[in-house]
Amino acid sequence: MKRIDIFDTTLRDGSQSSGISFSVEDKIKIARALDSFGIKYIEAGWPGSNPKDELFFKIAKSSLKLKNSKLVAFGSTRHKSNKPENDPNLKALVKSGTEYICIFGKTWDLHVIHALRVSLRDNLKMIEDSIKFLRQKGLKVIYDAEHFFDGFKANKEYALKTVEVAKNAGAFNITLCDTNGGTLPHDLRDIIRETKKYLDLTRLPAKPLNHFSLGIHTHNDSDCAVANSIIAVLEGITLVQGTINGYGERCGNANLCSIIPNLQIKLKYKCVPESSLKSLTELSRYVNEIANIVPFEHQPFVGPSAFAHKGGVHVSAISRHTRTYEHIPPESVGNERKIIVSELSGRSNIIAKAKEMKLDFAKDKKSVEKIIHLIKNLEHQGFQFESADASFALYVQKELGRYKPFFELKGFRVIVQKDPKTGKMHSEATIKLSVENVDEHTAAEGDGPVNALDNALRKALEKFYPELKEMSLSDFKVRVINANAGTGAKVRVLIESKDREKSWGTIGVSENIIEASWQALVDAIEYKLMKSVKVK
């Protein structure tokens, strides 16, 4: 397999995404995960720009031991008024302690004139001086040709001259950057071909000259970042920069969670160890969790719905042969197939979903029709089971008369008061229930009415079912169904819960948000108990 070096910029470019702020500890965790996954280069930050990155490199230098990856410090060419040896940015790069350095310089004459405010000749000198200085320090330099494709379109001769200077100064890789993300694949292909010809690199990738290589760095402003990266590889480029989940400024950077499987599975390039591919989904979700970003449901390859099937025709077909509606096996990237039941469901959906959840009634046509009728009726009322598998399983068991209740609710009350002195809201819930003819009357406070209900319900049940102590609520969502009804609108509450083994979703629907929340809370607990009883 032909080798492609993956250069991950999540810790720098990714941190520039709106809504993301990595702590030093976060960056250490992600760096270790990327190393374990088998990423070749990890661009960890800009040590000359902020205290956080300086601290990261200090910690990394002393205690971050990577097995597979090379840590890279990022910076820019020297300031126009500084000599290299006196430039704070270059000195910080040397001090970072990394063997590999990535610096960017200006390629587009527009930036040279208006952003740097130097002559075109002076910019070339800044590129040359900076790379030579770092090389003299024994460091290996990757040069990011910022705005290369826009610069090429505006002034081809000058853009090519900048990368020639960088190559001659000693950079072992020049990465061509589509920094504004506006280049389309056909233009990118043509520009790469002309650049290779100019640099006398037409033999790439078969036999790189003196181990020199070209790289690609694309942004997603035209929604072409992944396609552009793949086109670049097909044109002989051997280093691909990007971020996990496509994080990045504006519309994001090239998404490595799509690039890696496309290159490795479909085009037979080696990007990471073969065994790592099966942990791609886990890596994606791990980084999402650290970034505190809700996973994009429909993200290709790794999204929760990347291999979800809802239409009856689709489900019927994949039940016979999975390739009919799946471009790769979901398990090849560590994901899983998901069957969705809805008002669009037919027999195939219900049978496949039941099989997935180990509910066996496929041969009972009467039961299947009964479940189809139930689901369609509930969806008409506002229920949706796409993210509420646990509620679906409970409804099926109840409809078929197979469900044994774990407790009997006798009533609950929720009080919400505002303290006139402090102005703070106070919530308290009282619950009466019975477990095997043993009555329990419990009260609990909470941060809000739903939290108070959850606390009271657990307090009442945990003495009977200690399994509930390992269960926690991980997400809570409310959606208005018929907004035109104003404050009397019906709401849909979705709750995600988890324990040590898995997570599950439940749903409640009502004009009363407390009632809808109660439905979802009870389903979450009942599913946990049903699951635990099965284990015993």
Residues 15-42 pLDDT 10s: 999 999 999 999 999 999 999 999 999 9
Residue 15 CA to residue 30 CA, distance in Å, equals: 12
- What is the average pLDDT across 173-193? 98
Per-residue pLDDT reduced to its tens digit, 213-271: 999 999 999 999 999 999 999 999 999 999 999 999 999 999 999 999 999 999 999 99
* Parallel/antiparallel/unpaired status of strands 438-446 and 2-3: unpaired
What percent of the chain has pLDDT above 90?
69
C-alpha–C-alpha distance, residues 401 and 76, integer Å: 69
Q: How far apart are CA 79 and CA 89, in angstroms?
A: 8
Question: Which pLDDT score is estimated for 473?
Answer: 86
> 411-420, pLDDT tens digit by residue?
999 999 988 8
| 65 phi, psi to nearest 5 deg | -100, 110
Q: What is the pLDDT of residues 388-399, one digit of tens each?
A: 889 988 988 888
Above 60 in pLDDT, residue 425? yes
Cα-based distances in Å from 291 to 17, 66, 95, 247, 475? 10, 22, 28, 10, 16
187: three-class secondary structure by DSSP: helix
pLDDT given at position 283 = 97
- The predicted model scores a pTM of 0.76
In this predicted structure, the answer to whether residue 478 has a pLDDT above a threshold of 70 is yes
Both tokens of 366, joined, read 């009467």
Q: DSSP assignment of 493-535, as one string? A: EEEEEE-SS-EEEEEEEESSHHHHHHHHHHHHHHHHHHHHHHH
Terminus-to-terminus CA distance in the chain, angstroms?
A: 48
State yes or no: pLDDT of 438 exceeds 90: yes
pLDDT at 495: 93
Q: Residue 536 — very low, low, confident or very high, per pLDDT cuts 50/70/90?
A: very low
d(CA 200, CA 348): 58
Kindly tell me if the per-residue pLDDT of 352 is higher than 80: no
DSSP state of 219: B
- Going along the chain from its start, the domains and CATH numbers come out as 2-277 (3.20.20.70), 308-381 (no CATH), 382-388+469-536 (3.30.160.340), 407-464 (3.30.160.740)
Q: Output the pLDDT for position 308.
A: 85
Nearest to 435 by CA among 465, 411, 390, 456: 465
